[in-house]
Chains A and B, each alone.
Chain A
Amino acid sequence: MNYFVERRSILLASALIPFLLGAEVVAQPAPTYRVERHPIAGNAELVTLFGRVQTPGSRLQEFDVPLLSVLRDTLGDTDPENDRLRYVWILTDTRPTPLQRAASALSFFYFRAGSRQHSDLVPKPVLDLASPARNVWVNLLGAGVQTMRLDALGAPIRASTRSYRGNSSDYRKLQVFRALGAMDNLARETGGESVLSDEDIQKVYSRLRLSGYTFGGLVRDENLSRFFDKESSRLEQMRGHNWELLRQRAEFCGLYFEPLAASGSTPNQAMLWVARDDLERREQQRFDGQFLRIANPWTDLRLIAWNGYTELRYFDAENRPVDADTAGARAVEMIPLALYSLDYPRVPLLLADFRDIFKPKRRELLQHGLSTVLTGVLGVTGFGNWSYMAANSAWTFVRQRHGAPMDRFARLRAYSEAREFLAVDTTLDPQLKLELERRLNHLALNPLENGLATEAKLAQEQYAALLRYAESPGGLSAKMERERRKELASYTRSHGMRLLLALGRLFTARPDVEASSPDPALLAKLDVHRRAAHHVRYLERLLASSPRPEVIRDSAQIRQAIDALSVEPAANRRAPRLIAQVFERSGDADVRMTCLRALHRLDVEPARHELLRLAQDPGTAPSWRTLCLLYFRGETGGDLAGVPGQQ
């Protein structure tokens, strides 16, 4: 699927967004996100996503912050067919300070423990795209040790270890969500030219997203596209749903609704306002707080004497927001009530309450505290106590059904995206933005978290450290070389053999693969295998998506893939079967001939077997069966006359 490229152009053309955000967005000159390619030693490159961030409280001071880097192993050429994405670094993700570590092990410490001031260390990759399953086993092992060993050591150990692990996990998720938000916005913002292909973007996005699921790392590559499509569609539907829910609730309660969006994107945040004039007629108003989760503004005396932030807005006769100089525009003084995230399942999530700065925080504290008491202090866990699990599930289900925000994972995501939105937004009034940032900062419960401004500086420092690491001889290039050897082994040796070798190394205490300088022969071998793997993936997808390959793809492309596969018979064992399947499915004579030639050229037993099978298949037309037989016997003698026409 080419979901990203397709959506970019359409969303940019959207009439909704510019209007919703006012003229400022339309006039916004530079894109908020950009991707930069940086060649590094060892025949690879770092692809980095930068976001343009504003200094808080200012519309003028903007600077680029590196958010995410991906290592692309290019084997030193410019052909994407043999490229492989490897490590992903989230550059805002820093190693905690000792103070932060200590604070994160305290059970009821739900505040920031200062911010790291500098980070010159090479950041740890959050993901190895070549072996995403590794994180699954590490996490499962961690959970196992926690449950089987640490929990049994008494409440203090249990509570502090659980607290530490929980904070670490939340901090990682927070960074991942921020990166996902940036990638999502990048996809919508850029106009089709990208350093990363759609397939690459889908892969990085999906793997990052799946890293938050217990078994997400086990999802196979062929399912990533489907996951990405579902996720993108789900996100769009969620935003639309919450947009409409909040608008209708605002309408019902006599409030004003204002959707907010990053440039070119669908709105993912929204503000609620109340008109000062309406407060004078408050006895005529009604209120339902089920989904809004704020105090009734019509009975709130604080609003009558409100001296906080206000804005003057203008509306036309159809109640559309317009500029002040529009003829017939009606001015309304508005008081902000709340900020909501629209990226939360089923209901908008309250992130900032202008009248009660601690309200969203109280919700988080309550839920965190309860969870800590139950699992950390009392040691009641779901899998250890089935009745608790059942009761908890029932309670959560009922609360969720009534619109309560019970999904911690999704709340983290919403919070993270709101931070990202405020960091890059250029449309909000600076003073309002400061107010929002202040309120959002109160939601920071994780001692490992750094402040927004510090985070930007740390990201720049970490990126510089990463570049240094990439350029150092014993650094990234050496690591990559080791990984390439492992990769080659994965092509040439069976799982069993690799396992045996690994066991052997345990006894000999030798490293897995010796580091060495780039080996041209290794690169050449990898090139062959990666290209073969690329073409196999292409044919597998082709066969999975259409009963007639040439209908959905250009015949020349198909022939090219088949020809390429036939060049290196040892490259992929699945090739003969796939080529034979293409022959069976295709109605294009040229494609079929290419298949027969390719099977003949492969000249390995499986290919000959496929030729014989096709020659004996009653479903194959007689003329083609004859041809198959000729190729099987090797009696083709070059070009064949009388190639059958299309079936």
Chain B
Amino acid sequence: MWRRSLAPAALLLFCGPLTAAVERVVIVKLDGIPASVLERELQRRDPVTQKSTLPWIERIFNQGGSRVPNFYVRAISLSAPSWSLLDTGRHLEIRGNAEFDRYTYHVYDYLNFFPFYVGYALSRRVDMPGVEVLDQLNIPLLIDFFPYAERYQGFQLFQRGVRWKTLQHTLQHRLSRSLRQLLDEWTIGFEIGSSVEEQTERELIEKLSDPRIRYLDYFTGEYDHVAHGTPDPASQRMALQSIDALIGRIWTAIESSPLAGRTVLAVLSDHGMNTRPGVYSQGYDLVEFFHSRAGGAHHVVTNRHPMTEYKLKGLDPFVSEVVTPSEESLYLKGAANQYPTVLLDLDGNERASVYLRNSDFNLLHILLEELNRSPMQPPLRQAAIRAFFQVVDRHRVEWQRTVGQLREEFAAIRRSVAEQRIRLEEQPKKWTPAQRNQGLDKDARRLAVQVDSLVNQDRRYSEYVDALAKILALNPSDFEKRRIPAGDVLPKRAMSEANGVHALRNYVVGPAPGGLALAPDGSLDLAKSFQRIDYLPLLASLSVRNNVQTALASHPVDFVALRIPSAPFSDWSDEPLDENAVWLYGGENRQAVILSRQRAGELELRYVPVRDLQQDSDGTFHVDSLEFAPGLPLALFEDKDLDVAEAQRVDWLRSWHSDLEWLRAAHSTEYSNGLPALHEQFHQRIEVNGDLLERFRARRRRLAEPDFVIFANDHWNFNVRGFNPGGNHGSMRRISTRSVLMFAGGGETSVPKGLVVAEPYDSLSFVPTILELMGQDQEARKFPGRPILEVLPQAKSSTAETRN
């Protein structure tokens, strides 16, 4: 367990000789504040006070600390992925605010607090879902570097445990107010959310007076909530001013705390927000698109109810899976709950992750339905049976491997479960206060939760494996003996393997209107027998008739991004490429491929404009490279803010560059660090060393990935849960990716005063910077990100510089 392996590090950090001046870190986490809005408000003078609209931030960070104005999300600009990067300092493993498992439909609902709290109360959960996933991958959080008794964590997405006392005190505090105050609040409107934040703040300030507490954090989503709702700058300003006052109170408390001189206050946001005064963000309903006939007449699963506020079911706080059936379904009418064929993660809104059922599963399903329909001409029936087995045979090796490997992994799971149950038996039944203070009770509960989770996974994946095995066991004679209903052999509620380029461009959505058709050679005519959709151009060409704002185009989709094999592009590099590339599709003449390779241990990336990228049914790729021209995805060529001289721009863009070079050259462009961020988003990293459990966990991560991600055009969004006219995030646009990062330190720390760091950094830099500030240089060097040299002590800056 990584927690055990971390223990010595935590011990060193706590008990070892204190070489660093920084002994305590206080982190204020702000959800969704764009650096641009913060800067606008910082510069703005209040007409009454003649001071900055955000006077505390001005004083603490502008004058008394350091700001990193070019701080970017190194992935899509969404809360769950972004906080996972900021809280771990490791490469991306959580790729959306919600993820679905392709085999089991398990929903990783990272933003939903309710099931967590109830699960915690019932002793079924210990940590938020994001933390559970990271734990399984042995990826520690920054907080884990501090012993349990020395940390104070606020309520947040990557939360360990629940402090019921905070909630209890929130209620007590709220009700202990005078009758007059309560009456005022009743009239003006109670705000339970802010009450919890107030209580958390009180506790944090109280903890600051305890010198044993070395790590404290505080999370607020106030701005994000307001900015989604309205682009009105005054409303957003009020939210920011409230945060400014909070920072003032925390800083004042730090100043009067015992470790004042050796405390660093870091304030950061996870992403920006595409919000502009006077412009409403317009939504496009992808659920409606996918369940329309034109979009494939799919039954669609989302993690929340569409238009949730208008349904009684929308009140269910535990919901994480909602099926929206299509009345126009071509072959699955009435089977929406068993066979949904699209899973959509729309949270985040400027992008949507789309999981489509494997197209060949659809084909097999249709064939089974047709074969079971009587009567059918014998030649056509025989052709259909042959076609069925051709498809099965095409996948046979892969499916057999999946079944075999998963069964090996199930055996490993069962062994592990047995071992862990023995450990659980050895745990005390009652915990002493001292043990509780060390968090041992939570560790034990965490172990129990992991055991339950493994048992559950074993069961659910077994269902899929058994179904797959049934298909593999079929032979043509079975069709002569009996009817084989699709429901008996095709796994229910499973997407199966992701679709390749060929499948996405020839996606089977139903039988042809005329039914199955024979080819002249007596085989089934696969082209004429099925209705197919080429999803990429269809999505790119979507448009609306109601376009009443000049700032918006009538096309809601900017481009579609998906992972493809890099093998077809091997000629474009003189060194071996990474296994996969990223394909960006914005139209037949708006395409590009992002290639990556490792050179001397350093990541290098290349952007190649292409057109007509196609894949044959046998897997062969065809692609033409294209000259650089305006209009390509990410709009690098024409962007005046690309930091490359115009005369050298084409040559530069044609070349390989490290991710840092890309960041430095492109961070000021409209799509900022879109290129390295897209690579981060789609790159598969988990390496398996032969351990079956690790292989199983790596598989689960892979199975949580979508077929493709749709990115919205400027000021468009894909929210269907409700409406977000104020602004959205999720894209690679600079306004969505450029986040807030500021440091201020006590007199004994190295944090410079009045410094504005010009160098661009990304999410991976945060954790190593904090660790270096706290003297954990060895630990910090294990992280992939660059520490922010400018805020480190002079000596460290020069040492760290050699690592860049």
Contact = CB atoms under 8 A, between A and B. Distances in A.
A236 B235 contact: yes
A630 B282 CA distance: 66
Interface stretch (A292-300, A375-383, A501-509, A544-552): A544-552
Contacts of A13: 277-278
Interface string B707-736: 000000000000000110110000000000
B136 to A, nearest CB: 39
B234 A10 contact: yes
Interface string B180-197: 100110111100000000
B545 interface: yes
A230 B189 contact: yes
Nearest to B180: A220
Contact of A552 (B49, B189, B226, B229): B49
A469 interface: no
B567 interface: no
A16 interface: yes
A274 B89 CA distance: 54
A539 to B, nearest CB: 14
Interface in A2-22: 2-3, 5-7, 10-11, 13-17, 19-20
B229 A241 contact: yes
A178 to B, nearest CB: 22
Name the interface size band of chain B. 35 or more
Contacts of A7: 232-234
B725 A219 contact: no
A483 interface: no
Nearest to A332: B545
A15 B238 contact: no
Contacts of A546: 55-56, 245, 248
Contact of B277 (A10, A219, A241, A245): A10
Interface stretch (B306-314, B378-386, B580-588, B675-683): B306-314
Interface string B298-326: 00000000000111101100000000000
B55 A237 contact: no
A284 to B, nearest CB: 11
B647 interface: no
A81 interface: no
Interface stretch (A163-171, A318-326, A419-427, A491-499): A318-326
A18 B238 CA distance: 26
Interface in A214-237: 215-216, 218-220, 223, 226-227, 229-230, 232-233, 236-237
Contacts of B253: 547
Contacts of A230: 188-189
A247 B726 contact: no
Contacts of B135: none
B312 A10 contact: no
A93 to B, nearest CB: 23
Interface string A160-188: 00000000000000000000000000000
B252 A548 contact: yes
Contacts of B186: 215
Interface stretch (A115-123, A396-404, A445-453, A593-601): A396-404
Contact of A554 (B51, B233, B278): B51
A231 B48 CA distance: 22
A460 interface: no
Given A3-B234, A401-B311, A401-B312, A218 B545 contact: no
Interface in B329-369: none
A547 B256 CA distance: 12
A548 B251 CA distance: 10
B279 interface: yes
A427 to B, nearest CB: 14
Given A219-B184, A548-B252, A318 B554 contact: yes
A77 interface: no
B285 interface: yes
Interface stretch (A250-258, A385-393, A560-568): A250-258
Given A6-B234, A7-B234, A247-B546, A15 B551 contact: yes
Contacts of A266: 232
B581 to A, nearest CB: 32
A249 to B, nearest CB: 10
Nearest to A231: B188
A605 B272 CA distance: 54
Contacts of B241: 1
Contact of A240 (B51, B230, B310): B230
A243 interface: yes
B288 interface: yes
B689 interface: no
B279 A218 contact: no
A57 B260 CA distance: 70
B396 interface: no
A219 B182 CA distance: 10
B280 interface: yes
A547 B546 contact: no
Interface in B244-288: 245, 248-249, 252-253, 277-283, 285, 288
Given A16-B279, A257-B548, A554-B51, A252 B235 contact: no
A442 interface: no
Contacts of B312: 398, 401
B723 A240 contact: yes
B188 A223 contact: yes
B278 A14 contact: yes
Given A2-B46, A2-B48, A248 B188 contact: no
B188 A219 contact: yes
Contacts of B722: 241
Interface in A589-620: none
Nearest to B235: A233
Given A19-B549, A223-B184, A5 B47 contact: yes
Interface string A443-479: 0000000000000000000000000000000000000
A35 interface: no
B3 interface: no
B459 interface: no
Contacts of A14: 277-278
B237 interface: yes
B231 interface: yes
Contact of B248 (A10, A548, A554): A548
B235 A318 contact: no
Given A16-B279, A226-B188, A553-B51, A318 B249 contact: no
B223 to A, nearest CB: 12
The winner among B47, B234, B553 for most chain A CB atoms within 10 A is B234
Nearest to A227: B188
A298 B189 CA distance: 43
Contacts of B283: 244, 248
Nearest to A197: B48
B422 interface: no
B544 interface: yes
Contacts of B547: 318-320
A66 interface: no
A11 B544 CA distance: 27
B56 A551 contact: yes
A218 B551 CA distance: 45
A547 B281 CA distance: 37
A551 B723 contact: no
A15 B278 contact: yes
Contact of B187 (A2, A219, A244, A254): A219
A276 interface: no
Contacts of B282: 244, 247
Which 8 pairs of residues, A with B, have the shortest CB-CB distance?
A14-B278, A240-B725, A547-B252, A237-B229, A233-B235, A16-B278, A236-B232, A7-B234
13 contacts: A6-B234, A7-B232, A215-B187, A232-B234, A237-B235, A237-B726, A240-B230, A243-B280, A248-B283, A319-B547, A319-B554, A402-B311, A551-B56
Given A215-B187, A218-B180, A233-B232, 14 more contacts: A7-B233, A14-B278, A215-B186, A216-B187, A219-B184, A233-B238, A241-B723, A248-B283, A266-B232, A290-B310, A318-B554, A346-B309, A546-B248, A552-B49
